[in-house]
């Protein structure tokens, strides 16, 4: 797989693997050995960028990722995150310097490594100055425990403040054909500052694949049950974008997922999407999107076909929405 450069010269595969869904968010955790097999298969087909967090589980995901990648640790880039009380999002945010240090030490053990390649603040903590957060990560970088600093779902002004203290290598936020808000302020800011962009949910939490419709039922532990965009009415209303993607994909002989990922790759050379899955067949399909090249005309056709579609429903319930873009 081709490589891309995020901020500060951090080189990764053009697509990374978002590992969250293996243990959190989309129903019961994947069997441990199956999860390890999937992560190792990703490495076999060229993925060198793996995304985890203490909050995924909590803790379970880092343990699985660490065990899976241990045989080839020096050939991959591992990202993880701090920022929630006890690693549990519903308990609130905690980016105090002492917490960042404690989480880092614990994550190093779970990930079976002596350094974290990319350490993200999972969400901006309104109670801790971002300069203190960036300064703590800067110290961890100087100590050799962390290599690069990242932020997640942060607003442009906060990114600038953090970047002035410790250069930010990557921002991770949602971005896809059905969530394009980052184009307004975030992407121009990242381009100006030389920060890479790591879009999560590049397939719209599965919706853009065409596998979800108004009749789909989710496991009771699947967080899409509380996402307004995934209400039955909104799933029905949003089928238009899936149909448009299907027409474009059929004409090119690829899948909707591959079109959606290829579109992201075509936006900027420093964008590295991290699609996640629990199935090896879907993994291989998603990663093959790195080889799908969209022409200028095809990108224009996609823009013309989708530009006028208004996606129905908020992407987060209100309590989660209040934590992003700060």
d(CA 88, CA 223): 14
Give the ranges where the chain is alpha helix by DSSP (H). Answer: 32-44, 60-69, 97-110, 130-142, 156-165, 186-193, 232-237, 239-252, 256-267, 280-287, 296-306, 318-321
The residue annotated as part of the active site, out of 24, 26, 56, 148, is 56
Report yes or no: 5 and 11 within 8 Å, Cβ to Cβ.
yes
Q: Is the dihedral of CA 81, 87, 89, 95 positive or negative?
A: negative
56 is catalytic: yes
Burial class from Cβ neighbours inside 10 Å (0-12, 13-18, 19+) for residue 183 reads exposed
Q: Which tokens is 76 given?
A: 């991959």
Could you tell me the CA-to-CA distances from 115 to 2, 178, 232 in Å, in that order?
24, 35, 44
Instruction: Give me the active site residues, please.
Output: 56
């Amino acid at each position: 797989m081709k490589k891309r450069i995020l901020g500060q010269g951090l080189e990764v595969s053009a697509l990374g693997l978002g590992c969250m869904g293996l243990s959190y968010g989309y129903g019961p955790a994947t069997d441990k050995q199956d999860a390890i097999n999937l992560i190792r298969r990703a490495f076999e087909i060229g993925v060198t960028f793996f995304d985890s967090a203490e909050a995924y589980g909590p803790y379970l995901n880092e343990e699985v990722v660490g065990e899976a990648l241990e045989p080839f640790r020096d050939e991959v880039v591992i990202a993880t995150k701090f920022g929630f009380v006890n690693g549990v999002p519903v308990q609130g945010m905690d980016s105090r310097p002492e917490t960042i240090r404690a989480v880092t030490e614990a994550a190093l053990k779970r990930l079976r490594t002596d350094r974290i390649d990319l350490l993200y603040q999972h969400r901006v903590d309104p109670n801790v100055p971002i300069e203190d957060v960036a300064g703590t990560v800067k110290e961890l970088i100087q100590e050799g425990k962390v290599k690069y600093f990242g932020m997640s779902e942060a607003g442009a002004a906060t990114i600038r403040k953090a970047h002035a203290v410790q250069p930010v290598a990557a921002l991770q936020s949602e971005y896809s054909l059905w969530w394009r808000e980052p184009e307004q302020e975030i992407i121009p800011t990242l381009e100006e500052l030389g920060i890479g962009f790591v879009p999560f949910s590049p397939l719209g939490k599965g919706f853009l694949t065409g596998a979800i419709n108004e009749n789909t039922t989710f496991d009771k532990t699947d967080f899409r049950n509380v996402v307004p965009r995934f209400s039955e009415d909104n799933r029905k209303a949003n089928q238009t974008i899936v149909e448009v993607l299907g027409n474009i994909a059929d004409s090119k002989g690829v899948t909707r997922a591959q079109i959606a990922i290829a579109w992201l790759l075509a936006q900027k050379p420093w964008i590295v999407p991290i699609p996640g899955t629990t199935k090896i067949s879907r993994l291989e399909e998603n990663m093959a999107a790195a080889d799908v090249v969209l022409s200028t005309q095809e990108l224009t056709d996609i823009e013309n076909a989708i530009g006028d579609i208004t996606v129905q429903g908020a992407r987060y319930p209100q309590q989660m929405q209040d934590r992003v873009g700060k």
